[in-house]
Amino acid sequence: MKQTINEIPLNKELHDVLRQLGIKDVNPAYSTGLAWGGQGSGTTREIYSPADGNLIASVSMASREDYDHVVQTAQEAFKVWRKVPAPKRGEVVRQIGLKLREHKEALGKLVSYEMGKILQEGLGEVQEMIDICDFAVGLSRQLHGYTMHSERPQHRMYEQYHPLGIVGIISAFNFPVAVWSWNAMLAGVCGDVMIWKPSEKTPLAAVACQHIIREVLAENEVPEGVFNVIIGDAEIGSLMSHDNRVALVSATGSTRMGKKVGEAVGARLGKSLLELGGNNAIIITESADIDMAIPAVVFGAVGTCGQRCTSTRRLIIHENIYDQVKDRLARIYANLPIGHPLNSTTLVGPLIDKAAVDAFRDALDKVQQEGGQLIVGGEVLEGRGYETGTYVTPAIVEADNNYATVQEETFAPILYLIKYSGDIENAIDIQNGVRQGLSSAIFSTNLLETEAFLSHRGSDCGIANVNIGTSGAEIGGAFGGEKETGGGRESGSDAWRVYMRRQTNTINYSREMPLAQGIRFDIMD
């Protein structure tokens, strides 16, 4: 592997970044938008960068009392915010987008350093936030319902949408800020108020976002409690999931976590939006343009060190081109630049922590015990610049789709090569033969193959791409998947509807009282 030594001096640079983002004190446990405060539970969590192991911050963890205070503040804010016209709410979001543009470089560096994704991906994540702000601004003037014809004379029927109330947002470490913005900006223009619980592994980027938007909120006299951040462990997420005051819980993370959230929210008949695990595959058919396919496969498999929910985990290759694709990938993997995420030559940064490294090694051990053949990678890097123990060499393994390890999502850079023979239906059966259903892709220049992949008998995933990879979705389309991915949809298209409650209205403008279905109900006065 081509390795890049971690020699970037970061102490002063990080200090400058934090100052640019307005962060001086990161100890308080929560923020209600205009005032950063909270007593915390008395416990703190130290945040270390997976890039070099340096201590970034010590952050107080919220208590149950802190949580209750945030919820009460949000409840009061909702009474005011829901009355603000949607285009006015959109104007606030527009200004938030402008602030994010001002701080894109600084916030992108912080995301990269705290989470470990390379700088290009950190900057891309902030751009995603900017893009969803733009989308939400337009949406603020298009929260439309429908009109219907009534069967009764001089009656009018229509549907309209109203804000839900409090939206709880539980986000994961791999996208520390973007997924929050998908939810918060859309929910914000819909008239909801938000309580964001970021991952306890990457809280500082969330603190930074709150500082960035504070000035906008103050200038627009947005009530305290519309945009809230609360930093805590799994207990806070559990409180949110069980809380009848929280109308919608949007949770991004593992399927295991999502099942707990869904069960808790469902038990109280609340609403949930679940965007959970993926076991994503790319099919490469015999007619594929391999020169196009290879870069998409590599980015999908090793981008964010394999820690995206849309990461490519399985590569289903036609037997006639299998060896050619395998050999090309092995050569590329042997020369991947692995190193500090802020180094401009790096393509693969670290895993988030040593627990992720242990999961990586454990999966490789298990799949080989099942019969898989390790082609390249699978090492934990040591020595100068890699003292953190969080850097690994991305692995390629020849495997069978039915292996138990292949059936599971390992949040690490492991790519399973799976050979198929015969026609495209065989490849699609393999693609669909897992419990997850997030993202999928096919590389083919054969129209019959691509249309079969996109048909009702094709990919069973929420995302199905042709001649592009599984990773790197645009915000204009609804994002989410089926089966154990949870069925939720975030970001673009009509995903905004989940943040609102639907209401059907019928207006009688006659002087009579006819009933529907021609029912007669005569009473004597």
Amino acid at residue number 518: G
DSSP state of 220: T
Helix and strand tally (H, E) in the chain?
Answer: 15, 25
Three-point CA angle 275, 437, 498, nearest 5°: 35
Q: Which among 466, 495, 503 has a CA at the least distance from the CA of 478?
A: 495
Tokens linked to 407:
């059936």
Distance CA 193, CA 71 (A): 10
Question: What pairs with residue 367 in β-bridges?
Answer: none
Q: Is 275 in the active site?
A: yes
Distance CA 459, CA 439 (A): 9
What is the widest separation between alpha-carbon atoms in the chain? 94
Phi–psi pair at 29, nearest 5 degrees? -90, -20
Q: Which of 190, 309, 484, 490 is catalytic?
A: 309
DSSP state of 186: H
Q: Which among 78, 96, 107 has a CA at the least distance from the CA of 18?
A: 107
SS (H, E, C) 335-390: CCCEECCCCCCCCECCCCCHHHHHHHHHHHHHHHHCCCEEEECCCECCCCCCCCCC
User: What angle separates helix 104-115 from helix 86-102, to the nearest 10 degrees?
Assistant: 70
Contacts of 336 (CB under 8 A, 6+ apart): 1, 2, 302, 347, 348, 393, 394
Distance CA 195, CA 201 (A): 18
Q: Which of 275, 409, 449, 484 is catalytic?
A: 275
Amino acid at residue number 489: R
Phi–psi pair at 181, nearest 5 degrees? -65, -35
Where in the sequence numbering do the catalytic residues fall? 275, 309
